[in-house]
Amino acid sequence: MRLAAGWLLVAGVLGVLRWRRLRSHLKRRSVTRQHRTAIMPFSELAALMAEFRRLGLEPKNLPGLATGLGGQAALLARLRELSPGVTWRDVFPELPVHWTPGRPETWSTAYRPYGAYDYQELQTAAAVQLCWEKPGEPDHLERLVAAAREAKWPVYGAGLMDIKNPNRSTMDAMVVLRSGTTEDELGDFTTWLEAQEVTIVAIPRLGNETYSD
């Protein structure tokens, strides 16, 4: 289990909330049931939210959360061991010392590019994580990027993600847009992606995040 700065979120336990938050930003973004359930089943989300309410914990006071396979079940089991009155630091003792729950201005980490295809220094831009079923074509990502650029989408770079789980059934990639891309342009681009042979996993970066030194 790991935490991401601010509302940066890859597929994880608060995936549905992440899409809802994006929908308020990207007003032209069409968020389908397929995308919501692909990130996390509603039954699992409901169980987690019930535990948060029981413990008196507000998800809005915590930076975004990401888990690996089995992470949702492990988190739920952990929550059920706790009693009301705990804090987010009791749930996640590994929170950076300078992060204060409820104060988003403190939820910062040092900037780390996703790979050689990403901006190596600030200023960054939005990034979209997507996947397709294995094995796929060897040039699947290259063809997608070429099609996007031909359609005049502001793609800066893209690359495959290094997924450690050998049993994962998908190939995962990150597409980075050019610095200065607006939220409306990001929304339109994700709508275009929905018509391609890929599944959008998450938007882990909007490009307007604050990073620590």
Q: Would you say 123 and 179 are in contact if contact means Cβ atoms under 8 Å apart?
A: yes
Average pLDDT of span 27-34: 34
Residue 147, domain extent = 127-205
Residues 6+ apart with CB under 8 A from 139: none
Residues 6+ apart with CB under 8 A from 15: 9, 36, 39, 40, 45, 202
Indicate whether 113 belongs to any domain. no
166-186 pLDDT, tens per residue? 667 788 899 999 999 999 999
Do 33 and 90 share a domain, yes or no? yes
- What is d(CA 82, CA 162) in angstroms, rounded to the nearest whole number? 34
Indicate whether 43 belongs to any domain. yes
Q: Would you say 45 and 207 are in contact if contact means Cβ atoms under 8 Å apart?
A: no
Do 96 and 31 share a domain, yes or no? yes
| Domain count of the fold of the chain | 2
The pLDDT mean for the chain works out to 75
The answer to whether the predicted template modeling score (pTM) of the entire model surpasses 0.85 is no
Least confident of 25-29, 88-92, 137-141, 186-190: 25-29
Could you tell me the pLDDT band of residue 115, with boundaries at 50, 70 and 90?
very high
Do 83 and 174 share a domain, yes or no? no
Indicate whether 111 belongs to any domain. no
CATH assignment at residue 164: 3.30.70.260
- For 6, 58, 135, 144, 207, the CA distances from 210, given in Å and listed in that order, are 8, 22, 37, 30, 9
Report the residue count for the chain. 213
Do 16 and 85 share a domain, yes or no? yes
Query: Higher pLDDT residue, 115 or 11?
Result: 115
Residues 6+ apart with CB under 8 A from 192: 148, 151, 153
